[in-house]
Amino acid sequence: MSSAFSIALSSLKAQSEAIDVTGHNLANLNTTGFKASDIDFRDLVASNLGWANSSGMGVTRPRSQQVFSQGTIVSSDSSWAAAIQGSGFFMLKSPNGSALYTRDGNFSLNSDGSLTTQTGDKVLGWTASASGLNTGVTPSNIVIPTGQNLSAQATTSFSFAANLNASGTAANSTNVFNVAVPIYDSLGSTHTLTVTFTKSTTTPNTWSYDVTVPGDDLAAGPAGTQVSLLSAPGTLTFNADGTMAAGSPTSIPLTVSGLADGASTMNMNWSLLNTGGTPEITQFAQTSESDDLIQDGMGAGKLSKVGIGDDGQIMGSFTNGQQKVIGQIALATFRNTDSLQDVGNNNFSATAGTAPASVGTAQSGDRGQIISGSLENSNVDIATQFTNLITYQRGYQASSRVITTEDNMLQDLLQTIR
């Protein structure tokens, strides 16, 4: 009869611990990246205690196991927020140097430019050097550079689409069409080339072209005039259907030297074909116009804004309108994720039974996607937790009733003895 007390007591302890776990889950209902725990009850028999028989002895201390299911992805106003959709953990280094892992991507920058969690753990990944981004080395602290400059890039090629009016005449000034082409020199200064098309008055379907630069941009001038970059104007001929005829040039080399600002000589190529190899200049009986101007130069720029971009790339925006990858967040996956240990502050650590981490970039291997400007909510399901509370409470009440019943039986026995 005495074993009934210990059996019921084991149940009271087990149900109480289960309620504690459920309470912990509910307390973290709104904790970013939190992973709920499930309770595993296991029966206890006499043989577990080394006894010869196998009679039931109640329930052992329940085992708590975290469930690493996906939480809901929600948007965030922070440019440093990131969520993982799929497998993987952000890699961290604690202030004492230990390796930690988290699903909480609510990051920020500290005073030295390091990307950190809200509790000061440093986020690991790769920071780009002057030679580029190397993700083949061991991840380290991501440090965001301040005051970084992006060098100017001289224009080496340009292209544009244009239609030349087949009905153009000198009488109504539609026989000449100019296209302004902005370019950059090696110092980042801008210059404007002028491409001038002039319809022939003697040869049908024929236009001449010239490319000029302002004399004010050249050290030798002359000021106030346009200086041609061609030794002589070129010629474009067109077919009866308005397309550029065979034999017309498809690319024209240009050189600008002796710039007044001291920049290097510019060697450029004007391409008259698009990326598919089709001529971009046509002659139809429509108003002359140009479009799709493309040139590969840019002025110098200073880093003005930094944030997390797609798939964990740290993107830098520069004052010249350019963007550049200056870092990459690393992700780690594990063969046996459930072996990780919760160490608080939304972090996990590896245990002796944890397989080695597989480290790499998002969407490589079995690693999930990093979604910028978002956070992962807790995966706690409130309906499930409330149902569990009712179940554990009933279990606790039932075990309490066993103790009450056993106590009444003992009292009856004592009354019999008396």
Structure confidence by residue, pLDDT tens digits, 6-16? 888 888 899 99
Is there a contact between 322 and 298 (Cβ–Cβ < 8 Å)?
yes
| pLDDT one-digit tens code per residue, 303-335 | 888 999 888 999 999 998 888 899 999 999 999
Q: Give the dihedral sign, CA 128/133/134/137.
A: positive
Has domain 157-295 been given CATH number 1.20.1440.20? Answer: no
Is there a contact between 264 and 186 (Cβ–Cβ < 8 Å)?
yes
Coil, strand, or helix at residue 227?
Answer: strand
d(CA 377, CA 362): 19
pLDDT at 322: 87
Place of tokens 């061609």: 230
pLDDT at 8: 83
Task: Quote the tokens at residue 216.
Answer: 């004010």
pTM score: 0.74
Stretch (H or E) spanning 195: strand 190-199
Which amino acid type is present at position 163?
A: N
pLDDT at 89: 98
pLDDT at 408: 81
Coil, strand, or helix at residue 126?
Answer: strand
Which residue numbers in the chain have pLDDT < 70?
1-2, 46-55, 417-418
Place of tokens 């404007």: 192
Coil, strand, or helix at residue 262?
Answer: coil
pLDDT at 60: 84
d(CA 44, CA 237): 95
| pLDDT one-digit tens code per residue, 150-205 | 889 999 999 999 999 999 998 889 999 999 999 999 999 999 999 999 999 999 99
Is there a contact between 82 and 32 (Cβ–Cβ < 8 Å)?
no
pLDDT at 119: 93
The domain ranges of the chain are 3-69+378-417, 75-147+303-376, 157-295
